[in-house]
Amino acid sequence: MRAIAMLPPPEKLLEVINLQTEIAQLGLDLGGVMALVAQRTLALLSAEGAAIELAEDGDMVYRACAGITAPHLGLRLKIAQSLSGLAVTGGKTLVCDDAETDARVDIAACQKIGLRSMLVVPLNHKGTIVGVLKAVSVQPHKFSEIEIGLLQLLSEQVAAAMFFATKYDIDDLFYKATHDDLTGLTNRSLFMDRLRALLSSRQAQTIGILMIDMDGLKQVNDSFGHRIGDAIIREFSNRLGTSSRISDTVSRLGGDEFGVILHPVDSGDGIAAAVARINSAIEAPFSFENRGYALSASIGSAQFPDDSGDINALLEIADQRMYQAKRRYRPQPNPTAVTA
């Protein structure tokens, strides 16, 4: 274990202990662990943003984000040109008191996120470093020795959980960090990573984005429990995958929300055809344990570059169109009994 900068006060230590319990309850769901830790870091350090970055193929990649870093999930920065990369290569905790004057940081990325100071701690388990846990603030000179100690304690827990979930297999670690534990689909982080890469490509073609929300899942969970709900999520995911092309990215973004990147796609007609194909697959009869369930989805779409050239604007457009479709949805009695 690394030396802790300064022992935190008892109430903060209790928060860390309680978080350790929550991490243990998530078990092998590495994506869930990373998202939880990023979110809890905000309150623990009174920070405006937090992220877990993994070192992948010469880049530091934002794989879990909270607060002001959330819109930048999937962002890639060169290891050699970022403070996080320096923390990984040097194996040391690094503090940036003011991004406006610190030559070690990627100033353009800092300005884009809106941060002035940051604290970066390597995710180090028994000598193996795979990434960093980072807290950021809009204020310069934000992080004290106590906050450094807190984030170091937290990083120990995260690194141990990551290696436990993957049994020290680094390839498996990166897979679990980018895929949904329940369905095996790519998760929000990899969805955003791939979308950013496509939009930034000089050869970027027309791209379709689908935001998809399962209809009626809450009703099933409330009536029959999450075991049945999980079975329906897995079936929904399978149908979504089989009705999409190999070149498309199909992701579970969280809960009952899914996303699809259609690439390449010829036009709006191609997007409409994909939506029709997905709806047809999802709405086919489904039974589980001698009971039938009516599956359906609300789908919204956006098209690059016709609707926008900005990633967040495209997602917002697709999201709003999905909610318009959701408002037109009228729940059907679900489930209906099936004769054995």
What CATH number should be reported for the domain holding residue 317? 3.30.70.270
**To which H or E segment does residue 63 belong?**
strand 59-67
Contacts 24+ apart (CB under 8 A), 103-107: 106/77, 106/81, 106/82
**Residue 219 vs residue 85, higher pLDDT:** 85
Domain assignment of residue 121, given as a range: 10-178
171 and 38 in a single domain? The answer is yes
Residue 4: inside a domain:
no
Residue finishing a domain among 158, 178, 198: 178
16 and 127 in a single domain? The answer is yes
For residue 72, count other CB atoms closer than 10 A to its CB: 19
Q: What's the one-letter identity of residue 159?
A: A
Distance CA 75, CA 69 (A): 10
Residue finishing a domain among 178, 211, 228: 178
- Per-residue CA distances from 295 to 103, 237, 239, 278, 290 (Å): 54, 11, 10, 12, 16
48 and 169 in a single domain? The answer is yes
**Residue 8 vs residue 202, higher pLDDT:** 8
155 and 21 in a single domain? The answer is yes
User: Could you tell me the end-to-end alpha-carbon distance of the chain, in angstroms, rounded to an integer?
Assistant: 58
> Tokens representing 38?
């990023």
pLDDT in tens, 228-250: 999 999 999 999 999 999 999 99
* CATH label of the domain that carries residue 128: 3.30.450.40
Domains: count for the chain: 2
Residue 1: inside a domain:
no
For residue 184, count other CB atoms closer than 10 A to its CB: 13
Task: Say if pTM beats, i.e. exceeds, 0.85.
Answer: no
Whether the pLDDT of residue 338 is over 60: the answer is no
Sign for the CA dihedral angle at 184, 77, 144, 50 comes to negative
Residue 2: inside a domain:
no
Residue 64 exposed, middle or buried by CB count within 10 Å (0-12, 13-18, 19+) = buried
pLDDT in tens, 247-262: 999 999 999 999 999 9
**Residue 320 vs residue 294, higher pLDDT:** 320
pLDDT in tens, 110-133: 999 999 999 999 999 888 899 999
**Residue 158 vs residue 192, higher pLDDT:** 192
Which pLDDT belongs to residue 166? 73
Residue 5: inside a domain:
no
Residue finishing a domain among 118, 148, 178: 178
DSSP string for residues in 92-146: S-EEES-TTT-TTS-HHHHHHHT-SEEEEEEEEETTEEEEEEEEEESSTT---HH
Proportion of the chain above pLDDT 90, given as a percent: 66
DSSP conformation class of 9: P
pLDDT in tens, 67-102: 999 999 999 999 999 999 999 999 999 999 999 999
Q: What is the mean pLDDT of the chain?
A: 90
